Structure 1
């Protein structure tokens, strides 16, 4: 049992901490709005991922296997949405007027954080891989699925928070609107690249 827990936690950490659309958005949001206003995005993204994981383990993965074009269609629809977000990040004006002064633009909400996962091809790929490795649904009790979801909830929340704290660190080193525009441009392009890479690995 201990070895299973370690394996699940390791898988969750490696897949959650790696660069991806949700983590990049957490960094951008935290850099522009601060960590507190990034919490809804972190919480929503965590719930969103765990809900995907649970539904796939509960039987959705078999349904998707029987309809192969469904997964591919979801990948392109979700990827298109994330590319739109990349464009919005790239063209976003700085929310920082001066050091310590933040405009009252709306940071991502909890629901938007959930949608970022539900429309994130990487989340579906990782969840499908995790379910196939740790939970087959055959000779495996539901408690194993719930345990896997619980581990992923904790690890995912902490991993996205690490990226948000990176945003705080970056914002402490740049303090002019021009620098923030350059940062947003760089992160938007990085987000776009990660989405295109997801298209490549899922094709």
Structure 2
């Protein structure tokens, strides 16, 4: 069966809960606005779909089986997440309308590539592939997982980006804006603990 409600429920819960993508998109929506964050958002959607698809093709099992590859992915993800958190920590304390016009959100390709080292996406994709497989050929399983992950992640990303952009009205004062960015930076940095648990 291509559409499995249990698979979709599992994937939705796995992607909706806070992790690096959710935090980065919420912060980006607040910093840059909904429209400017769309390339980042679509990069996440495409990247997550690709990661889920290749996991169903057996790449997820290879990553789990190779301790060196697993460690390299974790180190890469941890380094990237800490770099993004540092950028949020150092970001302008001026609200979006007064911020530096040269400051820009993560690009489409940057967001796609980040999914290849995002351990939360790999973990959810691996669990979905192992627990909700339909017993079909690898290409069918890959298409099934990629469709589930991308379609659900589109809704998740739209929600969190919109939530972030709506927060801007509440963060008009420079102090409130700075506190928000610092909280998002700390939350993002804390997600690295999940990588090495």
TM exceeds 0.5? yes
- Could you tell me whether the CA contact under 8 Å between 2:55 and 2:142 is conserved in 1? no
Aligned partner of 2:183 among 157, 182, 186: 186
Partner Cα separation in structure 2 for residue 165 and residue 154 of structure 1 = 17
Q: Does 1:82 align with 2:81?
A: yes
Equivalent residue of 1:61, what SS?
helix
4+ runs of 1 displaced by more than 4 Å? none
- CA gap 1:65/1:192 in 2 versus in 1, 3 angstroms: closer
Q: Measured at CA, do residues 189 and 169 of structure 1 come closer, stay the same or move farther in structure 2, by a change above 3 Å? A: same
Gaps of 5+ in 2: none
Quote the RMSD (CA, aligned, Å).
Answer: 2.0
Give deviations 1:126-184, integer Å, cap 9, x for gaps.
11111111238xx4233243122112111111101111111122111111222211111
Deviation, 1:83, is 1.1
- Structure 2 equivalent of residue 111 of structure 1: 109
Which residue of the partner structure matches residue 43 of structure 2? Answer: 44
**Greater alpha carbon shift after TM alignment, 161-170 vs 101-110:** 101-110
Return 5+ residue gaps in structure 1 as ranges.
Answer: none
Is the CA contact 1:33–1:95 (under 8 Å) kept in the aligned structure 2?
A: no
| TM-score after normalising by structure 2 | 0.90
Q: Matched residues in 2 for 1:95 and 1:149: separation?
A: 39
Q: How far did residue 65 of structure 1 move?
A: 4.1
How far apart, CA to CA, are the structure 2 residues paired with 1:30 and 1:60? 32
The correspondence of residues 17-36 of structure 1 with structure 2, limited to 5 A, is 17-36=16-35
Counterpart contact for 2:19–2:120, Cα < 8 Å: yes
Q: Given the alignment of the two structures, is residue 140 of structure 1 paired with residue 136 of structure 2, yes or no?
A: yes
Match in the other structure for 1:168 = 165
Normalising by structure 1, we get a TM-score of 0.87
